[in-house]
């Protein structure tokens, strides 16, 4: 099934590494892809870091990746705003790294009277910021979010993520956001535009059913679930979202690691 694939869309945490620990199968797997004429792109829903920051993180683990081989849900959201909401003023709940990415893209970030309230992974969130976001959503601002993940996995377990903050805004306002990132079609469209690959030439690999595997299942892309992250075989049995392939780790796909 994988012999005809040209592009491997790889999740990061839980797929090629866990926390600060690089999986031993990762580097042989990546080398195999390049040696056989394929390509890979790292895609994460975690918009708290920029592509440049992720490039440095991957390099610190010895993982070869150029900026063009890294994408985040923040990048997808920026492209949407530049294409369809270019003159809009945006109230952003996000990290300083994400704010910098938006400003560099020429997006107008404001604190008052926004056209759009955009909620992301914000490790500096305060009651004042949430109340401000709710006020403007309640009064007609468009409600968007970079990604739907409710928790972000960390060494100690989980951190509150974008989807949980959105749930609070929804509870207060009755408004539901438009999400980007995995598993939404805008993500796949951006990958296709950047790489020139068609859906049948791609495979998405990750550890989360509701984002990684759903990106494939909902959009006609072959999907591979790795059991090195948050999902178990028992989870698959009870889920409506089914991967095309299940492996214990990415090394099993091409026998590149034990």
The question of whether 13 is a catalytic residue gets the answer yes
Say whether 11 counts as a known binding-site residue.
yes
Whether residue 199 is annotated as binding a ligand: the answer is no
E strand or H helix that includes residue 101: helix 96-104
Are the C-beta atoms of 43 and 187 separated by less than 8 Å? Answer: yes
Active site residue 212: no
Alpha-helix runs per DSSP H in 123-232: 127-138, 162-173, 185-195, 214-219
Is 161 labelled as part of a ligand binding site? no
Q: Are 93 and 125 in contact, with CB atoms under 8 Å apart?
A: yes
For residue 248, which of 43, 24, 5 has the smallest C-alpha distance? Answer: 24
Q: Is 182 annotated as a binding residue?
A: yes
- Distance separating alpha carbons of residues 92 and 162, to the nearest angstrom: 12
Which member of 13, 122, 149, 161 is catalytic? 13
Residue with tokens 């305060």: 126
Nearest to 31 by CA among 229, 254, 249: 254
Give the active site residues.
Answer: 11, 13
Binding residues for substrate: 182
Binding residues for Mg(2+): 11, 13, 207
Binding residues: 11, 13, 182, 207
């Amino acid at each position: 099934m994988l012999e005809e694939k040209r592009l491997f869309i790889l999740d990061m945490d839980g797929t090629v590494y866990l926390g600060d620990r690089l999986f031993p199968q990762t580097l042989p797997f990546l080398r195999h892809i390049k040696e056989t004429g394929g390509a890979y792109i790292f895609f994460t829903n975690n918009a708290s870091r920029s592509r440049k920051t992720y490039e440095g993180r991957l390099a610190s683990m010895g993982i070869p990746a150029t900026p063009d081989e890294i994408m985040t849900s923040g990048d997808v959201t920026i492209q949407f705003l530049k294409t369809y909401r270019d003159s809009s003023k945006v109230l952003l709940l996000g990290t300083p790294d994400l704010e910098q990415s938006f400003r560099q893209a020429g997006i107008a970030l404001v604190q008052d009277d926004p056209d759009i309230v955009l909620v992301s992974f914000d490790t500096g969130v305060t009651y004042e910021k949430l109340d401000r976001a709710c006020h403007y959503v309640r009064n007609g601002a468009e409600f968007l979010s970079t990604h739907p993940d409710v928790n972000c996995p960390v060494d100690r377990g989980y951190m509150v993520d974008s989807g949980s903050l959105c749930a609070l805004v929804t509870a207060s306002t009755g408004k539901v956001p438009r999400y980007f990132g995995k598993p939404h079609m805008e993500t796949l469209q951006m990958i296709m535009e950047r790489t020139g690959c068609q859906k049948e030439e791609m495979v998405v690999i990750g550890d989360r059913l509701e984002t990684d595997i759903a990106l494939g299942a909902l959009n006609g892309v072959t999907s591979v679930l790795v059991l090195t992250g948050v999902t178990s075989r028992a989870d698959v049995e009870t889920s409506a979202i089914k991967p095309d392939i299940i492996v214990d780790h990415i090394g099993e796909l091409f026998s590149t690691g034990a």
